[in-house]
Amino acid sequence: MIDLPLTLSPEVAEARANGAAIVALESTIITHGMPFPQNVETARRVEAEIRAQGAVPATIAIMDRRIHIGLTQAQLDDLGQAQDVAKLSRADLAACLASGSIGATTVAATMICARLAGIQVFATGGIGGVHRGAETSFDISADLRELAETPVTVVAAGAKAILDLPKTLEYLETLGVPVIAYGQDDFPAFWSRASGLKAPLRMDTPAAIAAAHLMRARLSLPGGQLVANPIPPEAEIPRAEITPQIEIALAEAEAKGIAAKAVTPFLLQRIFELTQGRSLTSNIALVLNNARLGAAIARELAGAA
């Protein structure tokens, strides 16, 4: 057997042994996606929500040359306040583990770690995608290719409207990634329920999503599924209201020459400031909503196993 550098929390280890429902969670949203202390508070609330729904949360981060699957309260607190934590995607994961530094996992790296730990469902806020201007910058998130490679069902609120959503959908189609809108036809746009773009697939129940996940495995199709779960109506910022703030943030990023890994955190932070915190309130609501759906899908998969 290969000796993997995996450390499962006692709760996750027990759930694994019992075949119980587990939902993976990323840590970049904690270190780079939200300010302290809302980041740690949200991480705790998301874990509590998953437990309340009858599943076990597994927040993933890199510490002490190990992939930690399930963090203690103290580890979450440390991560939420630590400075200069590396943002890890597929390209950085092994180097971070080998060097012994602390790392937060993006959607791509969390999918890799979840698969290694035998976890099939992962809930987050939004995935990375094709950035606006990608035709010159070539900025396309590694999250997209990971969805094509690694068999984990990812629940997100669509892709952030800071991205080029039509190109993101085209690229996912090229990669053969199922994009499933949950309970509506429109592909959701993170802070807003509607993007004006129809998602390629629509499913209305966790059972349908779990069945499709299992069928992909039976067909030996590599890659996962993207479940795009619209933000709850009471928490959404309608597209017309958020669009001007997005445009300002994008123009600033361009003027400052922000590139590569810094783009997404910069835009999230600026939109937080420009909306006087409203984008963060929405972000928290949609992550909790995704955690609930992720737990329901994980329960279906556990029942089917």
Question: Is 57 one of the binding residues for ligand PSU (CB under 6 A)?
Answer: no
Among 47, 49, 160, 236, the active-site one is 160
CA distances from 211 to 24, 97, 157, 303 (A): 19, 34, 21, 11
Residues in region 278-297 near ligand PSU by CB under 6 A = 283
Sign of CA dihedral 168, 265, 192, 158: positive
Q: What number of H helices and E strands is found in the chain?
A: 13, 11
Minimum CB separation from ligand PSU for residue 97, in Å?
Answer: 18
Report the chain's terminal Cα–Cα distance, integer Å.
23
**Distance of alpha carbon 179 from alpha carbon 112, whole angstroms:** 19
**Smallest separation, CB 89 to ligand PSU (Å):** 6
Q: How many residues bind ligand PSU (CB under 6 A)?
A: 17
Neighbouring C-beta atoms of residue 240, cutoff 10 Å:
8
Active site residue 26: yes
Binds 178: which of ligand PSU, Mn ion, none (CB < 5-8 Å by kind):
none
Ranges within 115-134 binding ligand PSU (CB under 6 A): 125-126, 128
Interface residue with ligand PSU, options 12, 24, 25, 29 (CB under 6 A): 29
300 in active site: no
- Residue 188 binds to ligand PSU (criterion: CB under 6 A): no
236 part of the interface to ligand PSU, by CB under 6 A: no
Q: Three-state SS for 59?
A: strand
The alpha carbon of residue 147 and the mean position of all alpha carbons in its chain are separated, in whole angstroms, by: 11
Specify whether the CB–CB gap between 23 and 298 falls below 8 A. yes
Is 106 a binder of ligand PSU (CB under 6 A)? yes
* Residue ranges that bind ligand PSU, judged by CB under 6 A: 26, 28-29, 32-33, 106-107, 125-126, 128, 141-143, 261, 264, 268, 283
Would you please indicate which residues are annotated as catalytic (active-site) residues?
26, 160
